[in-house]
Structure 1
Amino acid sequence: MDAVTADWVTFRSGDTEIRGYLALPTLGAERPPAVIMVHENLGVIPHRQRVTEQLAAEGYAVLTVDLFSRIGGRPPQDYTTQEERRAKAFLAARDEQAIPDLDAALDYLAARADVDADRAAVVGFCLGGGLAIVWATQSDRLSCAIPLYGIPELPAAYSPTGAVRSRIDIADRVRCPIQAHFGGADAVIPLDQVARLTEALGRSSHPTDVHVYEGAGHAYHDDTHPNHRPEAARLTWERTLGFLRDHL
């Protein structure tokens, strides 16, 4: 993509070296705003790298953090079923570890002379969508957060506590504007959870914009996934770009 430069970078999170895929625009502002992108449970796959570049081409410095850096850059591979695979991926990127990694990624961008990290957003997908909500409840550094099909209530098997981990219970504590996107036919996320999350976000003191796309399943934005829905993906992207423009 001629409009961006992209490569892997590393930074420290505590005592650990974390890697991330960084894409920078080659045209436009000398110090573009920062976007931390948070991947789904598959990790920083080629599709996620491409979306990182696509967003950078819109004029943002985009860093997708590899939350599986500590285990070789891939989610756990010792599974026998797809449900076990997903559960182990979520546990490997649990909130207590992932949120400090996202903070460290923003620190890395803030230390660069070519990025304006005082204007910062988070965009997350699936696993990363839930983390985007959690981070937005804990940080005052974000100008906005955009979760895509983030799971409002993590099943007990996905949680390090062995109990359901709810993003709904904390959603009214978000510290920045939120735009959330969900599929209306998502087999992973029941619509009642979306409704309760929307209500909780509405109790915060910040603008909330929640969209549900009729007929779209989980991961509908991913054009390499069987659930891809082009029209829902297009609308989501347009709304995401508009929200970023409004708040960055």
Structure 2
Amino acid sequence: MSKTTTRSNNPDFASLVPNVTFTRRAFVITMLGAGFALATQPVMAETVIKTSAEGLVAGEIKVPVSDGEMVAYRAQPDKGDNFSVILVVSEIFGVHEHIADICRRLAKLGYMAIAPELFARYGDPRKISGIQDILANIVSKVPDAQVMSDLDACEAWAKDHGGDMHRLAITGFCWGGRITWLYAAHNPNLKAAVAWYGRLGGVVSELTPRQPLDLAAQLKAPVLGLYGGQDQGIPLDDVEAMRAAIRKAGGKSEIHVYPDAPHAFNADYRPSYRKDAAEDGWKRMQAWLKKNGM
């Protein structure tokens, strides 16, 4: 198979993830389905938040990327234009119903929200029942550099479809929370970012050459990090190290910890959901976005 190099329009792309090439591959996911990912079953129906699409333009779009078209979910008000744009990055479960609902919630606030299926080349995590299988067979194969390029492509799509590129933000959850930190160090056009319980440290590799802790001094937009004090996967030592690194760099980013909350406390469809922390985090996110020009 031939090889192609993924590039970005942003000038710092090469410095963030240098000398990376990717094998061209077909897109496994070419359309989005309804419902929740298999690995999250049974869904906690009594706490699931369901946001209507009434008054919105909401549904699947195709985003041109370096090697084809990537499917994504978009939601925005059905009237007006020149919307502030928020990129929404999923957990390891991909763009399933919870992420689509997050987009609709943001659209109800007046934003154009775009959630790209960033695993589209590697497999459909929504159809895999085992979390370890998702991590080993899909997530571990996704290069950070490719993700940065795909998110840049979503920015370009928004620019061509009524988005205001002077007001661009990103938010992400779990795997997407880590990506949120990376993108804040990558894209100089970004105004604000909100990372929900995204991993901060870890082993580096060719595909994941730097972690958020390595990039605290390179953040180009202020990041609000929202973390759970009882998160078994993200050590509080890492959270405090990130907080210290941000302060040392003199940046405007902040971290808030909910002492009694576990990982995925905003995932209203899972047992990890904590209503008080989730609602407070949503309010903090809205305030953060407004404070930073969104």
The two structures have a TM-score, normalised by structure 1, of: 0.90
**Distance in structure 2 (CA, Å) of the matches to 1:5 and 1:215:** 37
**Distance in structure 2 (CA, Å) of the matches to 1:87 and 1:203:** 36
| Paired residue secondary structure (1:121) | strand
Per-residue CA deviations over 1:79-133 (Å, capped at 9, x if unaligned) read 9x64353244432333121110001111110111x22122100001111111111
Q: Bigger CA drift: 215-224 or 81-90? A: 81-90
**Structure 1 residues 85, 165: closer, same or farther in 2, change over 3 A?**
farther
* Mapped contact 1:221–1:233 kept (Cα < 8 A): yes
* Mapped contact 2:63–2:71 kept (Cα < 8 A): yes
In structure 2, the partner of 1:24 is 76
* Mapped contact 2:225–2:256 kept (Cα < 8 A): yes
| Paired AA for residue 125 in structure 1 | F
Bigger radius of gyration, 1 or 2?
Answer: 2
Unaligned runs of 5+ in 1: none
* Mapped contact 2:188–2:220 kept (Cα < 8 A): yes
State the 1:75 CA deviation: 6.5
61, 69, 85: which one pairs with 1:9? 61
Q: Say yes or no: does 1:61 pair with 2:120.
A: no
| Paired AA for residue 190 in structure 1 | P
Per-residue CA deviations over 1:138-189 (Å, capped at 9, x if unaligned) read 11010011110010013x4xx6449885320112210111111000100110
In structure 2, the partner of 1:125 is 173
Per-residue CA deviations over 1:23-65 (Å, capped at 9, x if unaligned) read 01235x5321000011111100111111111111111000001
Kindly tell me the number of residue pairs found equivalent between the two proteins: 241
* Mapped contact 1:76–1:89 kept (Cα < 8 A): no
In structure 2, the partner of 1:92 is 141
Q: Say yes or no: does 1:232 pair with 2:232.
A: no
**Distance in structure 2 (CA, Å) of the matches to 1:162 and 1:175:** 22
Q: Say yes or no: does 1:213 pair with 2:263.
A: no
Q: Say yes or no: does 1:74 pair with 2:125.
A: yes
**Distance in structure 2 (CA, Å) of the matches to 1:162 and 1:20:** 23
In structure 2, the partner of 1:190 is 235
In structure 1, the partner of 2:199 is 151
**Structure 1 residues 163, 68: closer, same or farther in 2, change over 3 A?**
closer
CA RMSD of aligned residues (A): 2.1
Q: Bigger CA drift: 129-138 or 164-173? A: 164-173
* Mapped contact 1:184–1:214 kept (Cα < 8 A): yes
Identity across matched positions, percent: 27
* Mapped contact 1:67–1:73 kept (Cα < 8 A): no
| Paired residue secondary structure (2:249) | coil
102, 126, 136: which one pairs with 1:51? 102
State the 1:246 CA deviation: 1.6
* Mapped contact 2:83–2:112 kept (Cα < 8 A): yes
**Distance in structure 1 (CA, Å) of the matches to 2:95 and 2:252:** 30
**Distance in structure 1 (CA, Å) of the matches to 2:62 and 2:103:** 16
| Paired AA for residue 10 in structure 1 | K
